[in-house]
A and B are shown apart, each in its own frame.
Chain A
Amino acid sequence: MRMKNFKNLRLALGMLGIFSALLVAGPAASAKDDDTIKVGVLHSLSGTMAISETSLKDVVLMLIEEQNAKGGVLGKKLEAVVVDPASNWPLFAEKARELIAVHDVDVVFGCWTSVSRKSVLPVFEELNGLLFYPVQYEGEESSYNVFYTGAAPNQQAIPAVEYLMSEDGGGAKKWVLLGTDYVYPRTTNKILRYFLEEQGVKDSDIMEEYTPFGHSDYQTIVANIKKFAAGSPTAVVSTINGDSNVPFYKELAAQGIKAEDIPVVAFSVGEEELRGMDAEPLVGHLAAWNYFQSIENPTNAAFIKQWKKFTGDEDRVTNDPMEAHVIGFDMWVQAVEQAGTTNVDAVRQAMGGQTVESPSGYKITMDAKNHHLHKPVVIGEITEDGQFDIVWQTDGPIRAEAWSPHIPDSASKIADWTYPWVCGNCTEAKFQTLPGVSAQ
Chain B
Amino acid sequence: MRTILSSSLGGLARRFFVVLGILFILPAQGVAGEFEDALAGLGSKSRKQIKSSIQQLAHLEDPRALPALTALLEKRLRVDAEGRLYEVVEDSGELLRIPGGEVVASPPDSLRKPRINNAVRRVLGPAIAHLQLDSPDADVRRSAAEALPDRLSERMLPDVRAAAEREKDPQIRELLALALARADIQSGDSQRQLAAVELLGESGGRVAASILSTLLEQIDSEEGSEADPALRKAIESALARIEMRTDLIDMAGNLIYGLSLASVLLLVALGLGITFGLMKVINMAHGEMLMLGAYTTYSVQILFLQYMPGWIEAYMLAAVPCAFAVCGLVGMGLERGIIRHLYGRPLETLLATWGISLLLIQTVRLIFGAQNVEVANPDWLSGGFEILEGVVLPWSRVAIVLFASATVAAVWLLLQRTPLGLQVRAVTQNREMAACMGIATGRVDMWTFGLGSAIAGLGGVALSQIGNVGPEMGQAYIVDSFLVVVLGGVGKLAGTVTAALGIGVVNKLLEPLTGAVFGKILVLLFIVLFIQRRPQGIFALQGRAAES
Chains A and B form a bound pair: yes
Mark A residues whose CB is within 8 Å of B: 48, 50-51, 54, 167-170, 181, 209-212, 214-217, 219-221, 223-224, 226-227, 230-232, 243, 246-247, 250-251, 253-256, 258-260, 263, 275-278, 280, 284, 286, 381, 384, 389, 391
| Interface residue? B158 (CB, 8 A) | no
> How distant is A246 from chain B, measured CB to nearest CB, in Å?
5
B467 CB contacts on chain A under 8 angstroms: 216, 243, 246-247, 250
When distances are taken between beta carbons in the complex, the residues of chain A under 8 Å from B384 are 254-256
In contact, B121 and A277 (Cβ under 8 angstroms):
no
Smallest CB separation, B429 vs chain A (Å): 36
Partner of B516, one of A170, A212, A384, A391: A212
B382 within 8 A of A: yes
- Check A254–B382 contact: CB distance below 8 A: yes
Tell me the bound Cα distance from A227 to B392 in angstroms: 12
Inside 8 A of A209's CB, which chain B residues have their CB?
Answer: 515-516
In the bound assembly, the distance between CA atoms of A253 and B392 in angstroms comes to 11
Residues on the B chain within 8 Å of A50, using CB? 370
CB-CB under 8 A for A212 and B517, given A219-B260, A230-B207, A250-B466: yes
Q: Does B364 count as interface, using CB distance less than 8 angstroms?
A: no
Instruction: Please indicate the chain A residues that have their CB under 8 angstroms from the CB of B246 in the complex.
Output: 227
Interface string of B468-488 (1 = CB under 8 A from A): 101010001000000000000
B470–A211 CB distance below 8 A: no
The distance from the CB of B339 to the nearest CB of chain A, in whole angstroms, is 27
Are A255 and B375 in contact, CB atoms less than 8 angstroms apart?
no
User: Are the C-beta atoms of B394 and A254 separated by less than 8 Å?
Assistant: yes
Across the interface, which residues of B come within 8 angstroms of A250, CB to CB?
Answer: 377, 396, 466-467
Residue of A whose beta carbon sits closest to that of B519: A220
Q: In the complex, what residues of A have CB within 8 A of residue B377's CB?
A: 250, 278
Q: B276 at the A/B interface (Cβ < 8 Å)? A: no
User: B254 at interface (Cβ–Cβ under 8 A)?
Assistant: yes
User: Which residues of chain A have C-beta atoms less than 8 A from B376's C-beta?
Assistant: 278, 280
Which residues on the A side are within 8 Å of B515 (C-beta)?
209-210
B245 at interface (Cβ–Cβ under 8 A)? no
Q: Are B383 and A211 in contact (CB under 8 A)?
A: no
Question: Is B211 at the interface (CB under 8 A from chain A)?
Answer: yes
Chain B residue with minimal CB distance to A254?
Answer: B394
Q: Mark B380-395, 1 if CB is under 8 A from A, else 0.
A: 0011101000111011
| B373 part of interface (Cβ distance < 8 Å) | yes
Interface pair B468/A246, CB less than 8 Å apart: yes
Chain B interface extent, by class: 35 or more
In the bound assembly, the distance between CA atoms of A148 and B394 in angstroms comes to 43
Smallest beta-carbon distance B359→chain A, Å: 15
> Is the pair B468, A243 in contact by a Cβ cutoff of 8 Å?
yes
Binding site for A on B (CB under 8 A): 75, 115, 117-119, 121-122, 125, 150, 205-207, 209-211, 214, 246, 250, 253-254, 257, 260-261, 264, 370-377, 382-384, 386, 390-392, 394-397, 466-468, 470, 472, 476, 508, 511-512, 515-517, 520
A256 contacts which of B122, B261, B392, B468 (Cβ < 8 Å)? B392
A256 to B146, CA, bound (A): 13
Residues of A within 8 A of B373 (CB): 276
Kindly list chain B residues whose C-beta atoms are within 8 Å of the C-beta of A216.
466-468, 476
Partner of A231, one of B206, B261, B512: B206
Closest 3 CB pairs of A and B: A231-B210, A254-B394, A276-B372
A260-B122, A275-B371 are contacts. A253–B382 as well, Cβ < 8 Å? yes
What chain B residues lie within 8 Å of A170 (beta carbons)?
118-119, 122
Q: Which of A226, A230, A280 is within 8 Å of B210, CB to CB?
A: A230
Roughly how many angstroms separate A170 CA and B476 CA in the complex, as a whole number?
A: 37
Show 22 A/B contacts (Cβ-Cβ < 8 Å), sorted by A: A50-B370, A51-B370, A169-B119, A214-B476, A216-B467, A226-B390, A227-B246, A227-B390, A230-B210, A231-B150, A246-B372, A251-B394, A254-B394, A259-B121, A260-B118, A260-B122, A278-B375, A278-B376, A280-B376, A284-B121, A381-B118, A391-B118
A277–B122 touching, CB < 8 Å: no
Across the interface, do B511 and A256 meet the contact criterion of CB distance under 8 Å? no
B205 and A230 within 8 A (CB): yes
Q: Give, as a whole number of angstroms, the nearest-CB distance from A177 to chain B.
A: 13
- In the complex, residue of chain B having the shortest beta-carbon distance to the beta carbon of A45: B370
Q: Is the CB of A217 within 8 A of B396?
A: no
Which residues of B sit under 8 angstroms from A254, Cβ to Cβ? 382-384, 392, 394-397
Contact A255-B517, Cβ < 8 Å, known A217-B261, A276-B371: no
B512's contact among A211, A224, A258, by CB below 8 Å, is which?
Answer: A224
Least Cβ–Cβ distance between A318 and chain B, in angstroms: 15
Known A221-B516, A243-B470; 14 more pairs at CB < 8 Å: A51-B370, A211-B517, A212-B520, A214-B476, A216-B467, A220-B516, A227-B246, A231-B150, A256-B386, A260-B122, A277-B374, A278-B377, A280-B376, A284-B117
In the assembled complex, the CB of B400 is this many whole angstroms from the nearest CB of chain A, namely 12
